[in-house]
Amino acid sequence: MKKWYVVGTIFILIFGSFLHFVYEWLQYDIIGIFGAVNESIWEHLKLLFWPALSFSIVEYTYIGHQYENYITAKAISFYLGLFLIISLFYTYTGIVGNNYLVVDILIFILSVFISQYVGYKITISNRSFNQIINFISLLGIVLIIFAFVIFTFNPPHIPLFQDPTTGKYGI
């Protein structure tokens, strides 16, 4: 499992970085569901979530199904990573008054490492979650997917979804 954690972390960092630019390169609305369509914090959450979900599906087919708590561990990992990106970004920009690309990139990297590590630790803990918790965890993952689809095209007009460079929302 440790090898999967390391490979998954590297995959998320590389694939997530690629997703930052893919919509700009291809300009297809459907691509916008997966890649950042603007510079809002919400859009940058996709850079962690989609690669982590993709890798988790592959990982599940090979070894994840052997762990009763795999889906719950991944749901916790996903939500933790998204929470870290949001909270670290708003905390440091609230203190400093500005955002800096280097710090933003470091937040992404740190969020990937921490969320992956927590997911790994939960998975190997052999803590057994009941079927209801696993089902709720799966629903939580599906909820994130629906949120990315809906809010890419129809985002709420709050700062989390606003592109700070253009002032626009979504596509």
pLDDT tens figures, 82-99: 999 999 999 999 999 999
pLDDT at 109: 97
Measuring CA to CA, which residue among 69, 21, 19 is closest to residue 49?
A: 19
pLDDT at 127: 78
Q: Which helix (H) or strand (E) holds 10?
A: helix 2-26
Determine contact, residues 1/123, Cβ cutoff 8 Å: yes
Strand, helix or coil at 168? coil
Q: What is the mean pLDDT of the chain?
A: 94
Percent of the chain with pLDDT strictly greater than 70: 100
Average the pLDDT over 56-62 and give the result: 95
Average the pLDDT over 145-164 and give the result: 95
Is residue 65 over pLDDT 90? Answer: no
Q: How confident is the model at residue 27 (pLDDT cuts 50, 70, 90)?
A: confident
pLDDT at 35: 94
Both ends of the chain: CA-CA distance in Å? 38
pLDDT at 140: 97
Average the pLDDT over 38-46 and give the result: 96
Question: Is the CA virtual torsion 161, 165, 167, 170 positive or negative?
Answer: negative
Q: What angle do CA 114, 120, 122 make, to 5 degrees?
A: 105
Is residue 126 over pLDDT 80? Answer: no
Tell me which of 68-72, 88-92, 148-152 is least confident. Answer: 68-72
Is residue 24 over pLDDT 90? Answer: no
Q: How confident is the model at residue 129 (pLDDT cuts 50, 70, 90)?
A: confident
Domain ranges of the chain: 2-161
Is residue 136 over pLDDT 80? Answer: yes
Query: CB burial class (10 A; 0-12, 13-18, 19+) of residue 84?
Result: buried
Measuring CA to CA, which residue among 140, 146, 134 is closest to residue 64?
A: 134
Bridge partners, 162 (sequence order): 169
